Amino acid sequence: MKKLRVVQWTTGKTGTAAVRGMVGHPALEVVGCYAYSPDKVGRDVGTLAGIEPIGVAATDDVGALLALEPDCVAYMAYRPDFDHLERILESGVNIVTTMYMLAGPGYGEDVRDRLAAACERGGSSLYASGVYPGHAAMTVLAASAMCSRIDRVSLLESLDMSGYENEKMFRAMSIGLDPDDPAAPGMIEANCGSFKEQIRVLARALAVDLDEIRFTAEFGAANADTDFGFMKLEKGQIAGFKGVIAGIHAGRSVIECRFVWKLGHDMTPNWPVEEGYLLEIEGVPGVRVRLQPLGTARFDGAVTTAMPAINAIPQVVAAPPGIVNHADLPFVKGTHLLTRVDER
């Protein structure tokens, strides 16, 4: 089988896991890599991902990357560059991304329309996934096929996040601020914008019209000064959140993305965590699905975020032009089983 040619866009937390997941992938090969950080330009992508060199050097030359005529870009930068995204799509190259705000109008109707138009011009597709938002929703949609009636769909991510070493991301969410800081509620809500897209995608998939999407969250404060290795928190600072983004239909919450996110467990309130995802459908029948790590204490969040996008590349390349989501794609699955067996 001819492998699909993929350009990896940045090698941060998620991008590194994506590169590792593509090396040895039966359907994909890494042919290029975009570097945002100047010191990564010229370095081998395998080395940047902490594995053996693969003979592909990272570059910041977008034209050179598009000249490789890749089938897909795996776009995993910290922040979107809309000029880059438009240029990639209109050149006919598909995009998978973990930036779920790109699934809909999260960055504004104008941005969504601009990228959709670029897809049309280039005959390309844009697909946003990840784990949450992303694959957790695809899993609950698969479970919903068992139901003759659906009253409410609820997704919960409940994690101690201290294994995801990304201080910039946590600080942007308001971790480390005083719980009374007036900026804190807006910061966590802004960082949950992607879940509003997730609610819209689920509503479309389940054919329900929403009147509004509501956000509520509460803060947990650290009980003591704590050094997590990659960042420090002082006693009393925000160390975690519990909240819900709810899609409302006829005054009733019908689709819910819930979260309990904690840095460690020494905080007040000290909400219990599931260390995974709890997906529930109230209906006929009621259904509960758990996604939990087997054999380890925690999921590696970089892997569970990157792989739902990477494993969707064949379906996204085959999809009709436009912004596509879980309801548009054929079943996305892992493909590493034989590779893993061969490696033993």
What's the full length of the chain, in residues? 344
Task: State the number of binding residues for ligand NAP (CB under 6 A).
Answer: 26
Per the structure block, which two tokens stand in for 218? Answer: 């509460």
3-state secondary structure 252-295: EEEEEEEEEEECCCCEECCCCCCCEEEEEEEEECCEEEEECCCC
Angle between helices 13-22 and 301-310 (to 10 degrees): 60
Does position 201 bind ligand NAP by CB under 6 A? no
Does position 305 bind ligand NAP by CB under 6 A? yes
Do 120 and 256 form a contact (C-beta atoms < 8 A)? no
Do 77 and 36 form a contact (C-beta atoms < 8 A)? yes
Per the structure block, which two tokens stand in for 130? Answer: 């990840």
Does position 77 bind ligand NAP by CB under 6 A? yes
Across-strand partners of 153?
255, 281
Does position 326 bind ligand NAP by CB under 6 A? no
Per the structure block, which two tokens stand in for 199? Answer: 């609610």
Report the residue number, 140 or 221, with the smaller CB distance to ligand NAP: 140
Q: Which of 4, 6, 7, 14 binds ligand NAP (CB under 6 A)?
A: 14
Does position 132 bind ligand NAP by CB under 6 A? yes
Report the residue number, 150 or 189, with the smaller CB distance to ligand NAP: 189
Q: Which of 76, 95, 175, 313 binds ligand NAP (CB under 6 A)?
A: 76
Does position 79 bind ligand NAP by CB under 6 A? yes
Count other C-beta atoms under 10 Å from residue 337's C-beta: 10
Report the candidate in 106, 97, 126, 80 with the shortest Cα–Cα distance to residue 193: 106
Angle between helices 193-205 and 135-144 (to 10 degrees): 20
Does position 13 bind ligand NAP by CB under 6 A? yes
Binding segment for ligand NAP among 96-104, 251-259, 281-289, 314-322 (CB under 6 A)?
Answer: 96-104
The least distance separating ligand NAP from the CB of residue 41, rounded to whole angstroms, comes to 9
Q: Which of 11, 59, 154, 315 binds ligand NAP (CB under 6 A)?
A: 11
Report the residue number, 159 or 246, with the smaller CB distance to ligand NAP: 159
The least distance separating ligand NAP from the CB of residue 286, rounded to whole angstroms, comes to 26
Interface pattern 27-46 for ligand NAP (x via CB under 6 A): --------xxx--x------
- Binding interface with ligand NAP (CB under 6 A): 10-15, 35-37, 40, 76-79, 98-100, 130-134, 166, 168-169, 305
